[in-house]
Amino acid sequence: MRSRIVAYFLISILLVSLVPSTSAYKGYQLSRGAVSDFTLIDQDGENVTLNRSNGEILVVAFIFTRCTDVCPVITQSLRSVQDGLSSEYSDEVEFMSISVDPEHDTPEQLKAFAELHDANWSHLTGDLEVMEEVWNSFGLVVQKNVIEAHIAEENGHQSNDSTVTFVDGEGDSSELMVLPTAWSLTNALSDANNISLNYSTHSVYGNMISGINGTESPSDWSWYWKFMVYNETSTSWQESNVGVDFIDIDEFGTQNIAYMASNADENLLATPDNDSFSMSIVYPDNTSETHVLDEDSITAWHLTIGAFDGAGINYSSSNHPQFGHFFSSFNDEDPALDNWSWYWELHTWNDSSISWEYSQLGVDSVEESQYIAWARNTTADSDIPIPGAVQSMIDQQSNQVCDGHGWEMSSGSGKHCMCDQGYEWPEDTMLSCVAVEVEEKYTVGHSTTTFILDSERKPRVAWTGDNWNPSDFIEDIETLAELEGLIDTSEETPGLTFAVALISLGAAAIAINVRSKPNEEDN
């Protein structure tokens, strides 16, 4: 199972005095001097100097573009903050994201990241020596080995993971890790409990639910369907800062989600059973229901939708009352378009014979199968690649591929090694694994801390982690602006509330997981 985000990032220390705020600030109040001035390069190749930045108040985040989880969450949360500020306050505020991985984060990489997340502020990088001075000025300890481990975990594959192999009509194969999203869980539980969903699929924000069992959110946005997740660390329900497509479910590990009308009583959401996967629904009239998926109930159906949703591959399926689930198309390959001259066939891996075999059971009846495969019925079992982890054991014994330190995944031009821990691709090929160099010039890793600086460029407030509430962050900006005398509070006009900011974003502050793309369909 994939590790949670926080475990990777709470490895560095904030070398400043963090005092729990008993003042008006909701974040951590800081007591320290101004940050040293610096000049870095933005995503357009232009110089940006700290003390010449436009805003009287400056919000500074630290990110890196190879980060596919916490950094997009922070970036999208900052977008919510930016959109939630009224013009009176936003005129006084500037945003800035600084890389902690300058060897990789060129202006071109930062530009692609900023455009992907629609973040219209400066994303900065520079020479290593300059960047180290900037990190030190903010009190950050950056560790490269931790981030490398984080990236490896995000892209890696362990021998006990389930996978789904997909062989298309051209004979090209892909082995997909089962990386189900909250949308996969929503589909699975809705399907199993005859829950009707009305949703639209946005090209950026993903799937957005507007109706459940015929209860539609009104066009005037007097209420909307909130997407909630259960935070096991704080043991509380929280409205998610990320969209349903971008919440990763550990390989059907414990995860609990909820949809509730924004005007309903949040206290109706009960503490979930940690031994199951659940989806709760709270309607506008405060009636509620909870649906549970037991771990022992995981079938090839759940593995398939988890793998294909995670890989962003579209599929079409139906649920026959007698025969169960049936997949009619994968990746737009539909046998109906070829007069049913072929059909999709399910295969399971036989550990005893070390081979694939056609499944005589339906997708709902295949349980406790670690590896499954989908291919046209015209594809021979022997033409389906052996699962990577199995092939790894074979290859390591014979030392045939990946230099004996990994296994191959996919085929054709997409074939590449999944290297063992401590090994990586050399610069010229992805089909080899060499030992990782022990010597490090510097380290990259960082505490997920976002700062609010005053007009003298003194960090005044810090928010740690990625699970902070944008509305609270907005209040801290407004408080600082008022204390700095930037806003005339004698005739104060309240800024936009976070709820209005959510509406302006389509009722969701969505973090984009580069790895995942939602299915393009409307229901």
- Out of 198-207, 434-443, 468-477, which region has the weakest mean confidence (pLDDT)? 434-443
Look up residue 292 and give its two tokens. 């549970």
Confidence of residue 440 (pLDDT cuts 50, 70, 90): very low
User: Each residue of 185-206: pLDDT tens digit?
Assistant: 898 899 888 899 999 987 667 7
**Mean of the per-residue pLDDT values for the chain?**
78
67 contact partners, CB below 8 Å, separation of at least 6: 147, 150, 151
Both 289 and 304 in one domain: the answer is: no
173 within 8 A of 410, measured Cβ to Cβ: yes
Both 234 and 367 in one domain: the answer is: no
74 within 8 A of 446, measured Cβ to Cβ: no
User: Each residue of 218-229: pLDDT tens digit?
Assistant: 999 999 999 998
CATH number at residue 197: 2.170.130
Cα 222 → chain centroid = 29
Both 136 and 33 in one domain: the answer is: yes
| E strands present in 333-380 | 344-350, 355-358, 371-376
User: Each residue of 46-101: pLDDT tens digit?
Assistant: 999 998 887 899 999 998 887 766 788 889 899 999 999 998 899 899 999 999 88
CATH number at residue 329: 2.170.130.30
| pLDDT(292) > 70 | yes
Coil vs helix vs strand at 252 = coil
Both 172 and 304 in one domain: the answer is: yes
User: Each residue of 472-521: pLDDT tens digit?
Assistant: 999 999 999 998 888 876 554 443 334 334 333 333 333 333 333 334 34
pLDDT of residue 274: 67
Both 172 and 51 in one domain: the answer is: no
pLDDT of residue 313: 85
Both 423 and 449 in one domain: the answer is: no
User: Each residue of 312-360: pLDDT tens digit?
Assistant: 788 998 888 888 888 999 999 999 999 999 999 999 999 888 899 999 9
**CA 194, 319, 351 angle in degrees (round to 5)?**
120
pLDDT of residue 72: 83
**345, part of any domain:** yes
CA distances from 375 to 366, 382, 396 (A): 16, 12, 27
Both 290 and 314 in one domain: the answer is: no
pLDDT of residue 252: 43
pLDDT of residue 140: 74
Both 318 and 408 in one domain: the answer is: yes
**139, part of any domain:** yes
Both 173 and 310 in one domain: the answer is: yes
**504, part of any domain:** no
**470, part of any domain:** yes
144 within 8 A of 444, measured Cβ to Cβ: yes
**400, part of any domain:** yes
Both 168 and 309 in one domain: the answer is: yes
Q: What's the domain count of the chain?
A: 3
**522, part of any domain:** no
Q: Is the dihedral of CA 436, 10, 476, 205 positive or negative?
A: positive
**503, part of any domain:** no
Domain that holds residue 56: 5-143+443-492
pLDDT of residue 215: 96
CA-closest candidate to residue 312, choices 389, 203, 226:
203
| pLDDT(391) > 60 | yes
Whose structure tokens read 């593995």? 303
pLDDT of residue 457: 92
CATH number at residue 128: 3.40.30.10
Both 220 and 336 in one domain: the answer is: no
Both 135 and 283 in one domain: the answer is: no
Confidence of residue 151 (pLDDT cuts 50, 70, 90): low
**507, part of any domain:** no
159 within 8 A of 74, measured Cβ to Cβ: no
174 within 8 A of 165, measured Cβ to Cβ: yes
